[in-house]
Amino acid sequence: MRGLEEKDMANLQGRIALVTGASQGIGRACALELARAGATVALAARNEAKLAEVVAEIEAAVKHNGSGQAAAFALDVASQDSIKSVAKAVLERFGKVEILVNNAGITRDGLMMAMKRADWDDVLETNLTGAFLLTQALLRPMLKNRWGRIINISSVVGRTGQAGQVNYAASKAGMIGLTRSMAREVASRGITVNAVAPGYIETPMTAVLDEKQRAAMMAQIPLGRAGSDLEIAKAVAFLASDAAGYITGHVLDVNGGMFMGG
Ligand code: NAP
C-alpha cells in the first residue's frame, strides 16, 4: 500500500477510472475531480457531443499540472451489448479499470397507482441492472489486479423513500444492497465497494423541479442549501483514494443533513 501522507489523500496518479453518466451533472464533476487527482478517466454516456466537451474540459484543466488523461466512450447502460462492447473497448485502450463509478441514472416519476410498467422497467434497468452488468463485465481483471474501487451513486431517496418515486427509490435502495453484498464478496482481493448517497444536488436532473418542489426540498435540509456536483465528486475521489482503503460496504451520505442514518 502506498503511504498515507496528507498530500496523498486523494492522489490518484496513474490510476485508471471509468465514470458512467459522465456527460453532465454529478458524473461530469466526478470525471473532472478524478482527473484532477491524477487518474486517467474513461467517460461513458449516450450523448457523444457532450462527452467530447467534458473530455476537452478535462484536457484543458489538467494540461497545467500534467495529471490525468481522458477519453470518451458511447455507452447505453440499459443495453447489455453496449455494456459489453464498452467494457472491452476501455480494457483494450487502458489495460485495466481500477476505479469504477456507477453514476448513470434516470427518473420516471409518478404515483404508484398510475406508474406504467415501462417506467418501472426503464428506471430499474438503467439505474440498477446497468450498474450490475457493467461491474460484472469489469470485475475479472479487477480481481486479478488485486486492487479496486467501486463507487455506486445511490440517493437519499434510497434511504428514506419518496412519494412519486417508487421505481427510483427501489433502484437506489437496490444499489445499497448491491454495494454491501459485493463488498463482502471482493474484499479479500483488495477491492472496496461503497455507495455515495447524494441529497438534493443542483444538476440538470433537479433543474426540472418547480418552485414548490424546490421549497419543499429545501425545508428538509438542515444546512439550508442545495449541494453541488463538486461536493459529491470530492466524496467519490476520497473513496477512490488510498486514504479510504479501510472503508468498504459503506454508504456515505452527502445530503446537508437531510437524512442522518446509520
Ligand atoms: P443528470 O444531470 O440527469 O445526469 C445523468 C447522467 O446519466 C447523464 O450524464 C446521462 O448521460 C447519464 N445516463 C442516463 N441514462 C443513461 C444510459 N442509459 N446510459 C448511459 N448513461 C446514461 O443527473 P445527476 O443529477 O448528475 O445524477 C447523477 C446520478 O446521481 C444519478 O444516478 C442520480 O440518480 C444520482 N443522484 C442525483 C441527485 C441530485 O439531486 N441531482 C440526488 C441523488 C442521487 P446521457 O444522457 O448522455 O446518456
Q: Which amino acid is at 56?
A: A
Domain extent for 117: 2-252
Helices (H), the chain: 25-36, 48-63, 80-94, 117-124, 130-145, 156-160, 166-186, 211-218, 229-240
Whether residue 87 is contained in a domain is answered as yes
pLDDT surpasses 70 at 75: yes
Q: Indicate if ligand 1 lies below 6 Å from the C-beta of 241.
A: no
Average pLDDT, the chain: 95
Q: Indicate if ligand 1 lies below 6 Å from the C-beta of 201.
A: yes
CA distance 236 to 102: 11
Whether residue 259 is contained in a domain is answered as no
- Per the CB < 8 A criterion, the answer to whether 92 and 103 are in contact is no
pLDDT surpasses 90 at 1: no
Whether residue 166 is contained in a domain is answered as yes
Whether residue 142 is contained in a domain is answered as yes
What local confidence, expressed as pLDDT, does residue 109 receive?
A: 97
Instruction: Report the number of distinct structural domains present in the chain.
Output: 1
- Per the CB < 8 A criterion, the answer to whether 32 and 69 are in contact is no
Inter-CA distances, 10 with 38, 99, 163, Å? 9, 13, 37
Name the closest-CA residue to atom 47, ligand 1.
47
Q: Which of 218, 214, 229, 221 is nearest to 260 (CA)?
A: 221
CA distance 119 to 135: 23
- Per the CB < 8 A criterion, the answer to whether 42 and 245 are in contact is no
Split at pLDDT 50, 70, 90, the class of 122 is: very high
CA distance 131 to 180: 14
Q: List pLDDT tens digits, range 31-62.
A: 999 999 999 999 999 999 999 999 999 999 88
Whether residue 258 is contained in a domain is answered as no
Mean pLDDT, residues 178-199 taken together = 98
CATH of the domain at 38: 3.40.50.720
Whether residue 224 is contained in a domain is answered as yes
Q: Indicate if ligand 1 lies below 6 Å from the C-beta of 78.
A: yes
Mean pLDDT, residues 107-113 taken together = 98
Mean pLDDT, residues 129-141 taken together = 98
Q: Which amino acid is at 14?
A: G
Name the closest-CA residue to atom 41, ligand 1.
201
pLDDT surpasses 90 at 262: no
Mean pLDDT, residues 221-240 taken together = 98
What local confidence, expressed as pLDDT, does residue 63 receive?
A: 72
CB atoms within 10 A of CB 158: 24
CA-only gyration radius of the chain, Å: 17
Q: Indicate if ligand 1 lies below 6 Å from the C-beta of 106.
A: yes
Name the percent of the chain lying above pLDDT 90. Answer: 91
What local confidence, expressed as pLDDT, does residue 10 receive?
A: 66
Respond yes or no: is residue 168 known to be catalytic. yes
- Per the CB < 8 A criterion, the answer to whether 149 and 192 are in contact is yes
Whether residue 262 is contained in a domain is answered as no
- Per the CB < 8 A criterion, the answer to whether 136 and 87 are in contact is no
pLDDT surpasses 60 at 3: no
Name the percent of the chain lying above pLDDT 70. Answer: 94
Whether residue 46 is contained in a domain is answered as yes
What local confidence, expressed as pLDDT, does residue 62 receive?
A: 83
